[in-house]
Homo-oligomer: A and B are copies of this chain.
Amino acid sequence: MLLGSIEAGGTKFIAAVGDEEMNIIDMVTVPTTKPEETMKPIITFFDQYKIDAVGVGSFGPIDVNEGSETYGSITSTPKPFWKDYDFVGGLKEHYNVPIAWTTDVNAAGYAEYVLGKAKETRSCLYLTIGTGIGGGFINQGRILNAYSHPEMGHLLIKRHPDDTFEGNCPFHQNCLEGMASGPAVEKRWGKRGIELAGRSDVWELEAYYLAQALVSYTLVLRPERIILGGGMMKQKQIFHLIREQFERMLKDYVAVPDLESYIQPVGLNDQAGIIGGFLLAKNLCVKQRNL
C-alpha cells in the first residue's frame, strides 16, 4: 500500500508519500501562493508514484460535510485566491483513489491519538498555538465533526487584569487567538516569542489565557489528554505554568487525569500533520477493501 499525504498550511504545503507503516518515502515542500501554482508541483510529485489513497489536512475553514455541494472545498478563508477552492475535486481530476479530507489540526491530532502522545488514551484534544490557534478532538477513534469542524481558537476569554493589550483578532479582537497566538504575543511585547524565552512575565500571561481555554475545553469535551503543539509551545517552560493556572482555575470541579499526564507537548513534532494524512488515507483503503 502506497499512501499520499498533504499538509496544506497557510505558508507552505508539504506533500509526502509513505507506506502503511507510516515511513515517509519521499516528500516535497511548496510555498502557499495560488491554488494552481501551489498544486502543480504537488501533482508532479505524486505522479511519480502509484498511490492507493491520499489524506489531506488543510487550513480552513473547509467544508467537511459529505453530501454538501461544496464538500472538499476551502470555504470562507480570508487568504487571497483560496476562497472556494475545490481541493478534493482538484485532486480527483488526477487520481481515482479515495481521498480523506479534514482540517490540518484534525489530521495532526489524529496522528497524536493513534501513534503519538495520546496513543494509550480513548480521547484527546489537540491544540496548536502558532500563527493561529486551532483544535481538534478525537474520541474513541472518531474525529469530532458535527454541523462542521470545530474552530476552537476563537473562544471568548476573560482579560487578565494587568494586561492592557487590546488584542489582534480581526473578527473578535480579544478572543483567545487575539490574545495568545504568536502574532498577538509579538504585537503585545514588541518581540517574537522565541526572543522572549527568558521573560517569565510573558509566559505567565500566555499560560493564564491558555489555561482558561483549557478549562472550557475540559468542561465541554472531557478529553482524557490535551496535547499542545505549534510554534509557541516550543517554549517548554510554559507547560508547568499552564498546569499551575489550570489547577487554580478548575478548582477540582471535575476529575481530570494527573496534570503531568493530562497536559502534554506533542509527541510527533512537525510530522504529525503528514502522518495524520497517511493514517486517514489508510483508513479509507481498509474501509474500501472491507466493502
Contact = CB atoms under 8 A, between A and B. Distances in A.
B220 A253 contact: no
Given A171-B253, A216-B216, A249-B172, A150 B221 contact: yes
A91 interface: no
A182 B221 CA distance: 24
Contacts of A253: 151, 154, 171-172
Most buried by B among A75, A144, A217: A144
Main secondary structure of the interface of A (DSSP, over half): loop
With most chain B CB atoms within 10 A of its CB, the pick from A123, A153, A219, A224 is: A219
Interface stretch (A34-42, A156-164, A269-277): A156-164
Contact of A220 (B122, B145, B221): B221
Contacts of A158: 156-159
Interface residues of A, number: 45
A217 B152 CA distance: 9
Contacts of A220: 135, 137, 150, 152, 155, 216-217, 220-221
Interface of A: 61, 75-76, 122-123, 135, 137, 139-140, 144-159, 171-172, 212, 215-217, 219-224, 249, 251-257
27 contacts: A76-B255, A122-B146, A123-B146, A135-B220, A144-B221, A144-B222, A147-B224, A147-B255, A147-B256, A148-B222, A148-B254, A150-B219, A150-B221, A150-B222, A151-B219, A151-B253, A152-B219, A152-B220, A155-B220, A156-B158, A156-B216, A157-B158, A158-B158, A172-B251, A172-B253, A217-B220, A220-B221
